[in-house]
Amino acid sequence: MKFSLVIPLAPERNAEIIGSIKKLDYPKQEFQVIVVKGRNPSDNRNKGAGMARGEYICFLDDDAIVDSQLLKNAEAFFERYPHIDIVGGPQLTPKDDKRFAKISGYALSSKFGAWEMAKRYSRQRLDLNADEKDLTSAILFCRKKVMNSVKFDSSLFPGEDPKFIEDSKKAGFKVAYSPELIIYHRRRANVKGMLKQMFNYGKVRPAKESFLNTLSKPFFLIPSIFSVYLIFILAFIIYNPNISFNLIKSITGNITGFSISRDYLAILFVPLILYIIIALIFSAKDAVKNRNLTAFFLLPFVYLGIHTSYGFGMIYGYVKKFSGKRAGKSI
């Protein structure tokens, strides 16, 4: 048998993905489907891998739709690149997703929305030296030997998949990204769901790795820095409304008369104004790219929601981690 498809499933959920698996253009006798129910996705994946009979294990999310050529493309990839042990691909937004879910998918596939993680949500170039920024467990192929050495960390959720990829690379396994390994993954249907998802993504990073490790990937810290900056600006505006108005006017409406000696505080608003300008530029670009006029008006707020919810989540994670260590020392 060539492939074992492992699908972790919460007890109250249904595996929507099964419908598209039945339509795979691949010999049915050459793959098996293993659905493992439980509250812990990592435990489910580890248990499923233990039951796998295939040469390759493919981890898939339950609320996804697989491309009909997925297994053919995976087989061709491993034949062409026999030195690669793990490979994944993009999780694209389904065409039938509803309005907000579809627009949040545009934001996640945008460089401004997700920076280097946009590769997870859009088709990019082949990369034979991929890492946690490029892949997720929504679609991840592993040679069986990988699971004999590395397991998903059951203490993490979300964040167990980047930890698994990072641990696999440390163990010497080769990781790749292929734009031909495609699934279509459901996005959060509303603002609350998206904000909660991004908050949780940020919250788990301090638990996943040390601060020094995160410093080596500083783009993960930018949302938190920006979120703190926004709180500072908001407080400044509330307590100094007249000054704030004049400063903004100095920057936006009276550039020629701007004096640093007189209005040096205006520098506080420059990052915010630049953010707004860049958000509008990318909103126009992504709206045109996806042929969706409504997206232009919503994307600036979706970008902001992604960035701040992730940033505040990460801050929360560090506070929780630090307070836990202090409590541990005092016992």
pLDDT in tens, 61-93: 999 999 999 999 999 999 999 999 999 999 999
Q: Which among 45, 48, 88, 85 is positioned nearest to 171, based on CA atoms?
A: 85
pLDDT above 70 for 259:
no
The sign of the CA dihedral 13, 106, 315, 318 is: positive
More confident residue, 35 or 211: 35
CB atoms within 10 A of CB 260: 9
**Domain ranges across the chain:** 3-189, 211-330
Question: Residues 271-289: what's their mean pLDDT?
Answer: 95
> Which H/E stretch holds residue 66?
strand 64-66
Mean predicted lDDT score pLDDT of the chain: 89
Question: Residues 93-110: what's their mean pLDDT?
Answer: 92
Residues 6+ apart with CB under 8 A from 38: 8, 9, 10, 11, 44, 47
The torsion angles phi and psi of 179, rounded to 5 degrees, stand at -70, -5
Question: Residues 278-291: what's their mean pLDDT?
Answer: 96
Distance, CA of 255 to CA of 323 (rounded, Å): 46
Question: Which residue shows structure tokens 């990988």?
Answer: 146
CATH for 3-189, options being 3.40.50.11030, 3.40.190.10, 3.40.50.300, 3.90.550.10: 3.90.550.10
State the pTM of this model.
0.85
pLDDT attached to residue 330:
38
Question: Residues 200-210: what's their mean pLDDT?
Answer: 89
Question: Residues 113-130: what's their mean pLDDT?
Answer: 93
More confident residue, 321 or 203: 203
